[in-house]
């Protein structure tokens, strides 16, 4: 192994390794706002995806249209207490159906096999809490996926886009330079997390929340529309600072090989 070779890959969970389209939290965000009398669109619900779920709710409340609707209904701008009240509704609603959204994406097990064969450690970060991952982790393991490290935003100074979960992975995996790590994910906050940590950062198109296609929508979208959405998503990833954007998680070994072929 050369001194600049990749030693670890840190993967996101929902929308990256399982739950095509990151559907589990999406409808719950819409539901809790609808119960407060505010309809939020799928696009709005997805925009902060990848953040910790409390931070995600606060980001939604801070969107101009949603904040105005809230003020019209309740006579005041939404605040931290409103965010906490929504979060307390979000958690049990998500937990109720979370186990239904843990199917691995196509290609994940093949990529894991490649990483293991090349002695590359596998870490992970997520917007889910430890409580939520206690549901997801064993169901992923039953399908053959078990990373070496799982870091959630609980008990850290901040979740994404802060770099702390990546740093915690580096400690747990004993990787001493972030330049030996690839961070891959399916949201803009994943990209910013990796950039802020100093990792090589990769955006994934297929299955991603950023692409915004559910498994059902994928079956009906035209080829032209699919690639139009891919091109728009690719642009957003690069604008956020991604070093690479790949069509599918299956292409991750190509990124590893490309980085390992560097002379310096």
43-74: pLDDT as tens digits: 999 999 999 999 999 999 999 999 999 999 99
In tens, the pLDDT along 134-190 reads 999 999 999 999 999 999 999 899 999 999 999 999 999 999 999 999 999 999 999
Separation of alpha carbons 177 and 156, rounded Å: 20
**Mean pLDDT within 75-103:** 95
Q: Which residues are annotated as a binding site for Mg(2+)?
A: 12, 14, 186
Helix (H, G, I), strand (E, B) or coil at 260: helix
> pTM for this structure?
0.93
Q: How much of the chain exceeds pLDDT 70, in percent? A: 98
Catalytic residue from among 12, 19, 55, 190: 12
Mean pLDDT of all residues belonging to the chain: 95
Percent of the chain with pLDDT over 90: 97
Q: Which residue of the set 19, 43, 53, 77 is catalytic?
A: 53
> Is 151 in contact with 168 (CB distance < 8 Å)?
yes
Report which secondary-structure segment, H or E, holds 245.
Answer: strand 244-246
Query: Residue 8 in contact with residue 169, Cβ under 8 Å?
Result: yes
Running DSSP on this structure, what letter comes out for residue 75? S
- Sorted by sequence, the CB contacts under 8 Å of residue 213 that are 6+ apart come out as 21, 221, 226, 229
Please say if 43 is a catalytic residue. no
Q: How far apart are CA 184 and CA 196, in angstroms?
A: 13
Q: Give the mean pLDDT of 72-88.
A: 95
CATH no., domain 24-100? 1.10.150.240
Domain boundaries, the chain: 8-22+107-258, 24-100
Same fold yes or no, 8-22+107-258 and 24-100: no
| Active site (annotated) includes residue 12 | yes
pLDDT of res. 262: 83
Q: Which residues are annotated as a binding site?
A: 12, 14, 186
Note the pLDDT tens digit of each residue in 215-257.
999 999 999 999 999 999 999 999 999 999 999 999 999 999 9
Per the CB < 8 A criterion, the answer to whether 98 and 40 are in contact is no
State whether the Cα torsion 59-97-206-223 is positive or negative: negative
Q: Which residues pair with 200 in a beta bridge?
A: 182
Pairing mode, strands 244-246 and 200-204: parallel
Residue 73: predicted pLDDT: 95
233 CB contacts (<8 Å, ≥6 apart)? 203, 205, 208, 210, 211, 212, 245
- pLDDT value for 4: 72
Largest Cα span, the chain: 62
**What fold does the segment set 8-22+107-258 form as a domain?**
Rossmann fold (3.40.50)
């Amino acid at each position: 192994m050369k001194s600049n070779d990749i030693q670890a890959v840190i993967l996101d969970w929902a929308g990256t390794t399982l739950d095509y389209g990151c559907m589990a939290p999406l409808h719950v965000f819409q539901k809790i706002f609808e119960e407060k009398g505010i309809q939020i669109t799928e696009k709005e619900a997805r925009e902060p995806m990848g953040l910790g779920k409390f931070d995600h709710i606060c980001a939604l409340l801070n969107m101009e249209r949603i904040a105005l609707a809230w003020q019209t209904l309740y006579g005041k701008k939404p605040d931290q207490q409103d965010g906490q009240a929504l979060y307390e509704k979000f958690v049990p609603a998500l937990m109720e159906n979370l186990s239904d959204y843990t199917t691995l994406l196509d290609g994940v097990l093949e990529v894991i096999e490649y990483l293991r064969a090349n002695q590359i450690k596998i870490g992970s970060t997520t917007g889910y809490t430890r409580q939520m991952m206690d549901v997801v982790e064993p169901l992923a393991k039953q399908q053959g996926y078990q990373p070496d490290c799982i870091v959630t935003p609980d008990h850290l100074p901040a979740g994404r886009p802060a770099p702390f979960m990546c740093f915690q992975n580096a400690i747990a995996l004993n990787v001493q330079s972030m330049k030996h790590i690839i961070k891959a994910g399916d949201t803009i906050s994943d990209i910013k997390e990796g950039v802020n940590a100093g990792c090589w950062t990769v955006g994934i198109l297929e299955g991603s929340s950023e692409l915004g296609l559910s498994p059902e929508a994928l079956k009906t979208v035209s080829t032209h529309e699919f690639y139009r959405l891919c091109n728009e998503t690719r642009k957003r990833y690069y604008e956020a600072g991604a070093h690479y954007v790949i069509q599918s998680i299956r292409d991750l070994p190509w990124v590893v090989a490309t980085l390992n072929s560097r002379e310096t």
